[in-house]
Amino acid sequence: MKKSGLLIVLALLFSICIPSQAQKQQPRITVKDTQFFKGDKPYSYIGTNYWYGSLLASKKVGDRKRLLRELDLMQKNGIDNLRILVGGDGGTYDYTVRPALQYAQGKYDQDLLDGLDFLISEMGKRKMYAVLFLTNNWEWSGGMSQYLEWSGKGAIPVPAIPPNTWPQYMAYTEQFYSCEPCMEALNNHVKFIIGRTNAYTKRKYTEDNTIMAWQVGNEPRLFSVENEAKFTVWLNNIVNLMDSLDKNHLISTGSEGLNSSNDKIEIFERTHQNPNIDYLTMHIWPKNWNWFKADDAEKTLPTTLENAGKYIDAHIAVANHLKRPIIIEEFGLPRENEDLTSATSVANRNVFYNYIFNRVAESVAKKGALQAANFWGFGGEGKAITSDGKWKPGDPLTTDPPQEPQGLNSVFSSDKSTLEIVKKYNLKFKK
CATH code, 115: 3.20.20.80
Q: Classify burial at 293, counting beta carbons within 10 Å of its beta carbon; exposed 0-12, middle 13-18, buried 19 or more.
A: middle
One digit per residue, the tens of pLDDT, for the chain of length 431 reads 434 444 444 444 444 444 444 568 999 999 999 999 999 999 999 999 999 999 999 999 999 999 999 999 999 999 999 999 999 999 999 999 999 999 999 999 999 999 999 999 999 999 999 999 999 999 999 999 999 999 999 999 999 999 999 999 999 999 999 999 999 999 999 999 999 999 999 999 999 999 999 999 999 999 999 999 999 999 999 999 999 999 999 999 999 999 999 999 999 999 999 999 999 999 999 999 999 999 999 999 999 999 999 999 999 999 999 999 999 999 999 999 999 999 999 999 999 999 999 999 999 999 999 999 999 999 999 999 999 999 999 999 999 999 999 999 999 999 999 999 999 999 999 87
Residue 422 is part of which domain span?
A: 31-429
Residue 279 domain-assigned?
Answer: yes
Of the candidates 248, 48, 209, 218, the one whose C-alpha atom is nearest the C-alpha of residue 129 is 209
Distance separating the N- and C-terminal Cα atoms of the chain? 47
Peptide bond preceding 181 in cis form (omega within 30 of 0): no
**How high is the pLDDT of residue 42?**
97
Which residue type occupies 64? R
407-421: b (≥16 Cβ within 10 Å) or e: bbbbbbbebeebbeb
Reported pTM = 0.93
Q: How many domains does the chain have?
A: 1
Residue 431 has a pLDDT of: 75
Contacts of 325 (CB under 8 A, 6+ apart): 31, 34, 35, 36, 279, 280, 319, 369, 370, 371, 372
Predicted pLDDT at 3: 40
Partners of residue 29 on adjacent β-strands:
38
Cα dihedral value 325, 232, 172, 52, nearest 10:
30
Residue 366 located in a structural domain: yes
Residue 23 has a pLDDT of 66
Give yes or no for a contact between 131 and 215, defined as CB atoms under 8 angstroms apart: yes
- Residue 422 falls within a domain, yes or no? yes
Please calculate the CA angle 36-39-41 and round it to the nearest 5 degrees: 60
Position 107 in a domain? yes
Element (H, E) at 418: helix 416-429
Q: How far is CA 87 from CA 108, 241, 365, 423, in A?
A: 10, 19, 36, 29
**Contacts by 315-318 with C-beta closer than 8 Å and gap 24+?**
315/257, 315/258, 315/265, 315/268, 315/280, 315/282, 316/363, 316/368, 316/369, 316/370, 317/265, 318/265, 318/268, 318/269, 318/272, 318/280
Task: Tell me, yes or no, whether 14 lies in a domain.
Answer: no
> Which ranges of 155-296 does DSSP label H, i.e. alpha helix?
166-173, 180-194, 228-245, 265-270
- Residue 6 located in a structural domain: no
For residue 193, the one-letter residue type is I
Q: Is residue 23 part of a domain?
A: no
Dihedral sign (CA 293, 299, 302, 308): negative
pLDDT for the residue numbered 22: 52
